[in-house]
Structure 1
Amino acid sequence: MTIVPPAPGEPRRPDGPRDPGDAWVVSDDGAKYWGRFGAAGLLAVDPERGVLLQHRVAWSHHGDTWGLPGGARHEGESQCDAALREAAEEAGVPGGAVAPRFLSVFDIGIWSYATVVADVVVPFEPVISDPESRELAWVPLDAVDDYPLHPGFAASWPMLRALLPVRPAVVVDAANVVGSVPDGWWNDRAGAAGRLLEAIAARAGEGTDAADLGLSGDVWFPEWHVVLEGDARGAGDVAGVRVVRADGAGDDAIVAAAQELTDAGRSVTVVTSDRGLAERVRALGAAARGAGWLRDVRG
């Protein structure tokens, strides 16, 4: 493997010098891959308009094909951050307009490409904002294969499309998880619940390994629901987590949440070590994980 910088005179971004990550990785057989630290792209999914595709300029690698806005990662940059930054630079995707749902990684050892699949939460119109885009378009899912696709995207599209209907959710039995560690939680139930919510919010931002959810792909960003009961209901809301404050029995609220989500076609995981509760949610079609599954996020 060798690292080859861009050729002199090769087009640059309009806002300054290249980043150290802007270089070719060349394998022993001569194949070239853009991005010293790997690369990432954004597949934005709009429920009404389809997916956002970029018509690449002719001078780019595999030019004059359609693919995803994306590019080389910066050193130390996460895959999600790289995809969102590149999408903003190349397609004018506003910050906060999309919410990552899952991450799929193509890794050949010397180089990797991460596709961040994200749902549009604030509708926007893409804008050509740098020289790498010839055209940007929302393309209906059934029409994607009609376009001359970038070979990398063409290879991954069937798998990505198959995963688009999957929308995972995790329902947490907070009382059971908090009670699984004798750390004095009984002295301040609301405080203990608040710490759990903060830990879950941090995990939500980092994503969850697909294998831990029984799903394909690499990393998922499920919707998190945490059920609080009794004095724990006094914990405040935390961004990134949906808090359910049970009016009665916490178990019944957990079953109701799991029922609503499974009825909506969601892939549901319930976190509890209560065997009876686990049996109830499995009967609904949800998976059940023990409290230890979440223990690492509590610190």
Structure 2
Amino acid sequence: MTIIPVQPGEPRRPDGPRDPGDAWVVAESGERYWGRFGAAGVLAFDPERGVLLQHRVGWSHFGGTWGIPGGALHEGESARDGALREAQEEAGIPDGALRARFASVLDLRIWSYTTVVADVVSSFEPVISDPESLALEWVPVDQVDQRPLHPGFGAAWPALHALLSVRPAVVVDAANVVGSVPDGWWKDRVGAAERLRERLSTWTARGVVAPGLGVGADLWYPPVSMVVEGAAREIADAVDERVEIVRASGAGDDAIVSETRRLRDGGFSVTAVTSDRGLRARLEELGAQVQSSGWLLERLG
């Protein structure tokens, strides 16, 4: 593997400072891949308008083809953060307009490319905000393969297309999870619930690798419903929009069943977390996959 930095005069982001990640990685066979630390891009999905595609300028790699906004990662930057940053830089996507759902990784060992599929949660019109785009268009899903696609995106599109209908979500029985570890939680139930909330926020933000949350993707960023009861209902709402605090007005088990049913009816595939056998049976009747509290705690690390 050889690293070739951007050369003077090479048309790469002339409007800003050069980042150490802006370099070509060259394989022994001679193929060149953009991004010293790998690269990432966003496939923005709007159920009504389709997916956002970028018509690549002629001087870019595979210029003239259609792909997704993306580019080289910065050193130490996560693929999710880098993909969203690049989407903002290349398509003018506003803050908060997208919510990452899953990521698919092409790992060539010497280099990797991560496609982050993100749902549009606030409608926007893309804006060509750097010189790498000839056009930005919302393309209906069934018309994507009619465009001359970037070879990498074209190879990935069938699998990505199939996953657009997969929507995992997680419902957590907070009392059961907190109560499974004898760490003094009974002295401060609100504090124990807050600690679990923060761990769940970190878990879903960095990407989840877990059975039961969908197939075909390398990482999922599922929304989490954390159901609290009793004194723990005094917990503050999560800052991270991916973790929602659901306060049980009555029995906690009934609130967990109700939240699972709501998500199921909304088209989500639900993984519920509890070690309560009676509750497990009720949740499985709704079609949810049920995992134990230990399963979750192991993944929270």
Between the aligned partners of 1:204 and 1:5, the Cα distance in structure 2 is 34
- How far residue 40 of structure 1 moved from its aligned partner, in angstroms, is 0.4
1:120 alignment partner in structure 2: 120
Q: Deviation per CA, 1:185-216, whole angstroms, max 9, x where unpaired?
A: 11121221122112212222212115462532
CA distance in 1, matches of 2:232, 2:300: 16
Between the aligned partners of 2:222 and 2:250, the Cα distance in structure 1 is: 26
Give, in whole Å, the separation in 1 of the partners of 2:108 and 2:201: 32
Structure 2: distance between partners of 1:219 and 1:70: 18
- 2:267 maps to amino acid: G
Structure 1 distance, partners of 2:124, 2:21, is 29
Mapping for residues 1-299 of structure 1, pairs under 5 Å = 1-211=1-211, 213-239=213-239, 240=241, 241-296=243-298
**In structure 2, what is the Cα distance between the partners aligned to 1:99 and 1:297?**
22
Task: Decide whether the 8 Å contact of 1:14 with 1:130 is kept in 2.
Answer: no
- 1:199 and 1:297 in contact (8 A); partners too: no
SS state of the match for residue 193, structure 2?
Answer: helix
Query: SS state of the match for residue 52, structure 1?
Result: strand
* Secondary structure, counterpart of 1:181 in structure 2: coil
Partner secondary structure for residue 90 of structure 1? helix
CA deviations over 1:120-161 (Å, ceiling 9, x no partner): 111111111111111110111011011100000000001001
Check whether the contact 1:42–1:70 (CA below 8 A) recurs between aligned residues: yes
- Structure 1: give runs of 5+ residues left out of the alignment: none
1:272–1:291 contact (8 Å) kept in structure 2: yes
Q: For 1:30, what is the secondary structure of its paired residue? A: coil
Letter in 1 for 2:229: E
Report the Cα distance in structure 1 between the residues aligned to 2:34 and 2:84, rounded to whole angstroms.
17
110-119 vs 215-224, which moves further: 215-224
Assess if the C-alpha contact under 8 Å between 1:65 and 1:148 holds in 2.
yes
- Match of 2:275, SS state, is coil
Q: 1:137 corresponds to which letter in structure 2?
A: E
Whether the 8 Å CA contact 1:50–1:141 is kept in 2: the answer is yes
Deviation at 1:7, TM superposition (A): 3.6
SS in 2 for 1:25: strand
Aligned partner of residue 182 in structure 2, secondary structure: coil
Q: Structure 1 residues 122 and 265, CA, compared in 2 at 3 Å: closer, same or farther? A: closer
Give me the whole-angstrom Cα distance separating, in 2, the residues matched to 1:174 and 1:122.
30
Is contact 1:43-1:118 (8 Å) kept? yes
In structure 2, relative to structure 1, the CA distance for the partners of 1:158 and 1:298 (3 Å cut) is closer
Q: Number of residue pairs matched?
A: 299
In 2, the alpha carbon distance for the partners of 1:145 and 1:213 equals 27
Sequence identity of aligned pairs in percent?
66
Q: Which amino acid aligns with 2:268?
A: R
Tell me how far apart the structure 2 counterparts of residues 214 and 49 of structure 1 sit (CA, whole Å).
24
Q: Which moved more, 1:263-272 or 1:106-115?
A: 263-272
Q: Secondary structure at the match of 2:126?
A: coil
TM-score by length of 1: 0.96
The normalised TM-score by structure 2 is 0.95
Q: Give the match's secondary structure for 1:269.
A: strand
Distance 1:149 1:169 in 2: 31
What is the CA–CA distance in structure 1 between the aligned matches of 2:189 and 2:88, rounded to whole Å? Answer: 43
Query: What's the secondary structure of 1:208's corresponding residue?
Result: coil
In 2: Cα distance, 1:276 partner to 1:133 partner: 56
- Cα distance change, pair 68–210 in 1 and its aligned pair in 2 (3 A): farther
Instruction: Note the C-alpha offset of 1:17.
Output: 3.0
| Partner SS, residue 246 of structure 2 | strand
CA RMSD of aligned residues (A): 1.5
